[in-house]
Amino acid sequence: MTISPSDVAPQGVLARPADVPAISAVDVSKRYGRVAALDRLTLDVRAGEVFGLLGPNGSGKTTFMRLLAGYLLPSAGRLTVAGLDAVRDSLAVRRRIGYVPESAPLYRQMRVGEFLAFMARLRGLPEATIADAVERVVDRLALGAVVDKSTRALSRGYRQRTALAQALIHDPEILILDEPTNGLDPRQIIEMRQLIRSLAGRHTVLMSSHILSEVEKTSDRVAILLNGRCLGVRTIADTPDLEAWFLSLT
């Protein structure tokens, strides 16, 4: 019997107490001169849950995700990911996360399989396991039909799936998805929702959206962001009318 990478624990799993959150932000701010993109944001994301960030454009969702992914540095506050300091242990944090930016960027000179193998190498997977890892994500995200195609020839749906595949290639503990259903058609949105739900438990998923129904149907808990501040956090199960709660806060 062979064990596929998906049968073993995610690469980044740390031996840490169960009550330590997967992501913890305490008074995190990001300033550009006098403009605060994030203003003393405090929230926790529990291990294994799907956590939704809800807010209008410019509310600070992308900035927060970029801070977690190590693309930006916070101006103030403490940010821990998988129990590690996101600034001091940035490289170790980046090994434990998979990140899909909003625009789902791909290298246009590469084919899909080539791109996934490149990202696997970059994430430090041993050479002997790369072919298996690519095959695993290609199967999981149904990319078989396009694996030999150039990334520039992909439809929006396939682009999004390829971007998610690169984020999953190293089987990370935490997935950060910025507007994962952006630009997808209704069928693709449903498929993406199902996919994100299927990742819960095994991975911690932090996703952002400015669409109420997306967060409602996908997440276990939700935080509402506005002007860089967290206005509240609730479980979806305890929020029968998310729309009314959102309107009451904003």
Partner 1 sequence: MRTLRILFAKELNATLTSPIGYTVAAVFLLVLGYTFSLTLFVTKVANLQYIFHQMYVLSILLVPVLTMRTFAEERRAETLELLLTAPVRELSVVLAKYAATLTLVIGIFALTLVYAVILDRYGEPDWGPIYAGYLALSLHASLLVAVGLLMSSVTENQVVAAALSIGTFLMLWFADSVSYLLPPPFDSLAINLSLIGHFKPMVSGSVFLSDIGYFVTATLLALFLTAWGLEQR
- Contact footprint for partner 1 (CB under 8 A): 66, 69-73, 91-92, 94-95, 97, 99, 101, 103, 105-109, 118-119, 121-124, 166
Q: Minimum distance from CB of 45 to partner 1 (Å)?
A: 18
Residue 250 · residue 224 · CB < 8 Å:
yes
Which CB atom, from 54 or from 93, has the smaller least distance to partner 1?
A: 93
Measure the CA–CA gap between 224 and 43, rounded to whole angstroms: 11
- Answer whether 147's CB lies under 8 Å from 131's CB: no
User: Quick one: 107 or 210, whose CB is closer to partner 1?
Assistant: 107
16 versus 108: smaller Cβ distance to partner 1: 108
Residue 99 or 158 with smaller CB distance to partner 1: 99
In terms of CB distance, is 27 or 89 closer to partner 1? Answer: 89
Whether residue 29 contacts residue 76, with contact meaning beta carbons closer than 8 Å, is answered with yes
Beta strand ranges found along 55-191 (DSSP E): 76-81, 84-85, 97-100, 174-178
Residue 117 and residue 111 in contact, taking contact as beta carbons nearer than 8 Å: no
Closest Cα to residue 63, out of 79, 45, 49? 79
Number of H helices, E strands in the chain: 8, 10
Mode of pairing for the β-strands spanning 204-209 and 35-45: unpaired
